[in-house]
Structure 1
Amino acid sequence: MRALRTGPLLAATVATIGVFLSLTGCSVAGDDRPVVMVSTNILGDVVGELVGDEAEVVTLMKPNADPHSFEISAQEGARLRSADLVVSNGLRLEEGLQQHLDAASAENVPSFVAGDAIEVLDYSEGDAAGNPDSHFWTDPARMIAVVDALEPVLAGLDGADSTVISERTADYRAQLETLDDEMSTAFAAIPDERRALVTNHHVFGYLADRFDFAVVGAVIPGGTTLAAPSASDLSDLVDAVDSSGVRTIFAESSSPDRLVQALASEADISVDVVQLYTESLSDADGGAPDYLTMMRVNAERIATGLST
């Protein structure tokens, strides 16, 4: 008799679970939005601002990571090859990801390379001299150029509302223009004799070009954090710091600042080491959860560090 009573209950329970799973499955399977895979978290934030809910944006690079060296899983690589669009930085930035980007390209996955949308600068010194500088996002004007080029590509995604994307792009573009004005105002207060930048490696070429700074040097004299400085490099940089009178050195949040601290000691002068968010966003609880915040924090720290 007990078995007879529990049989209908078990059947009802199974039926209920079945309905729940069916509905859950339908919800996932019914999400037919286009999938946009983005290499770096900086570009991932920008793409997300432009598309809103019109596409699923998957950012491969985790917060606080190094774009030169981060890698992805085989599963993420497979998803990359099936995406509706792949957005990458280009200009040799994603060194650990390049094989997957090449594989997606070989399978004719639509792609957008941000570096193709800007006026590219070359490194002027160090091991990377003559090669393209990949850090264009330190110049908000160049990010505007990327956004302008991205709009028609995103608006053309099957299943996305192009009107919504155009409206969101116009709004975000206006925010970038405001950011550019704010940075210009902040940097205008820095005396001419103090407009010199030293960091972990060459990441400020575009910012210097946009806002009239001199890049005195970098502890790592190449375009990638995977390079390493020699004793001669450090000696040359100490000379540059001494001759320029630089009193603030900027260390990137995605790279250890031990080399910068060592340089500060080697130079035998009082040098402050200030952390900037230059190559990666932080997590949501950090100081740079999105691109606009990152740039504002950096502008304030650079202006303060070079003005005092």
Structure 2
Amino acid sequence: MTIRPLPLLPSLLCVLALGAGGVSCTAGGQDRPTVVVTTNILGDITRNVVGEEADVTVLMGPGADPHSFGISAPQAASVEQADLVVYNGLGLEENVLRHVEAAKEAGVPTLAVGDAVDPIAYTSGESADEPDPHFWTDPERVHRAVGIIADQVAEHVKGVDRKSVEKNASGYGGEITELTSWMRTAFDEIPEGSRQLVTNHHVFGYLAERFGFRIVGAVIPSGTTLASPSASDLRSLAEAVEKAGVKAVFADSSQPDRLAQVLRSESRIDVDVVPLFSESLTEKGKGAATYLEMMRANTRSIATGLGTTE
């Protein structure tokens, strides 16, 4: 009697492997290389670089706040079993970094993108002089990040085709170059005296540096959404808003704008509260499903909020 192997066994093994820790398999039962990315913004950027060469697993879903996000046990396992872990760094993923560090100690290659793109420091508030992790608001730094991610994928992820990754990075980099030019044209329409930003928390320092804006202040005087403003913080910011003649306060669309509304009530001038996408992408169809879509939406909102007609 001839005993034949069960045709579904490879598929069953893949299912079991996925349930145990997120290992990816092909239809033939072969493992595929996996890149694990912490934030959904970096996840979108990395997917454009990697293309079909490897599986990209993104830990944070649409709308997640990277400052407060915590990962599940299966996600932690996927970090430890990755071929490469891509994370923002500079203190952004406050509850995920210990898992990244554990994977690094276990020999998993890791890439802290923020550290590699010439980070700047906060200039005011509770986080003054600390590294600012929100580099993605500057598309030119993201262009630099694309090349860095491509190099690391080609070096550390076995089985990928370097030329394909480099081609993907070049094509996506070209789209980001076009984005930068488009943003500059849109912002050039804002009078120089109106290029002043007040945000829900300190998140647009890189954008301000790149495109010539002045940061008047933030409702939460910190680089994290986990902090809270005091009554004196709100009064001081209200005075600064009134003195500068700021036209709009920009609040993160994924966070309640209650604090920004309080600021508006504290000042003696009419200030609009305009939502922006700052910390996270959205689900498809919600306005910021990709990095490029998010940046274009924010540019339009800032230009409109500060008085242009575009």
* TM-score of the two chains, using structure 2 as the length reference: 0.91
Report the Cα distance in structure 1 between the residues aligned to 2:231 and 2:250, rounded to whole angstroms: 20
Q: Secondary structure of the equivalent of 1:307?
A: coil
Amino acid at match of 1:52: G
Secondary structure of 1:209's counterpart equals helix
Task: Please report how far the alpha carbon of residue 141 of structure 1 lies from its aligned counterpart in structure 2 after TM superposition.
Answer: 0.5
Alignment deviations for residues 204-246 of structure 1 (CA, whole Å, 9 cap, x no partner): 1000000000000000001101111011110110011000101
CA distance in structure 1 between the partners assigned to 2:302 and 2:114 by the alignment: 25
CA distance in 2, matches of 1:151, 1:214: 33
Alpha-carbon deviation of 1:289? 0.3
Q: How many residues align?
A: 293
- Name the residue aligned to 2:268: 268
Q: Which residue in the other structure is 2:106 paired with?
A: 107
Aligned to 1:150: 149
- Match of 2:250, SS state, is strand
Cα gap change, 1:258 to 1:31, in 2 (>3 Å): farther
More helix by share: 1
The gaps in structure 2 that reach 5 residues or longer are 15-25
- Report if the CA contact (8 A) 2:100-2:110 is conserved: no
State the partner residue of 1:186: 186
* Identity score, percent: 51
Aligned ranges 1:43-82 → 2 under 5 Å: 43-82=42-81
* Cα offset, 1:22, TM superposition: 4.9
Question: Structure 1, residues 119-156: CA drift from partner, whole Å, max 9, x if none?
Answer: 11111111111100000000000111111211111122
Distance 2:7 2:28 in 1: 15
Check conservation: 1:197, 1:217, Cα contact below 8 A.
Answer: yes
Contact 2:35 2:85 in 1 (8 A): yes
Aligned-partner Cα distance in 1 for 2:134–2:261: 23
1:39 aligned residue: 38
SS of structure 1 residue aligned to 2:47: helix
1:302, 1:138 → 2: CA distance? 13
CA distance in 2, matches of 1:164, 1:131: 38
- Separation in 1, partners of 2:55, 2:210: 33
Aligned ranges for residues 252-291 of structure 1 at < 5 Å?
252-291=252-291
CA distance in 2, matches of 1:285, 1:29: 35
CA RMSD of aligned residues (A): 1.7
Q: Return the alpha-carbon distance in structure 1 between the equivalents of residues 93 and 172 of structure 2.
A: 25
Letter in 2 for 1:249: V
Q: Give the secondary structure class of the aligned counterpart of 1:53.
A: coil
TM-score of the superposed pair, with normalisation by structure 1 = 0.91
CA-CA distance at 1:32 after TM superposition: 2.6
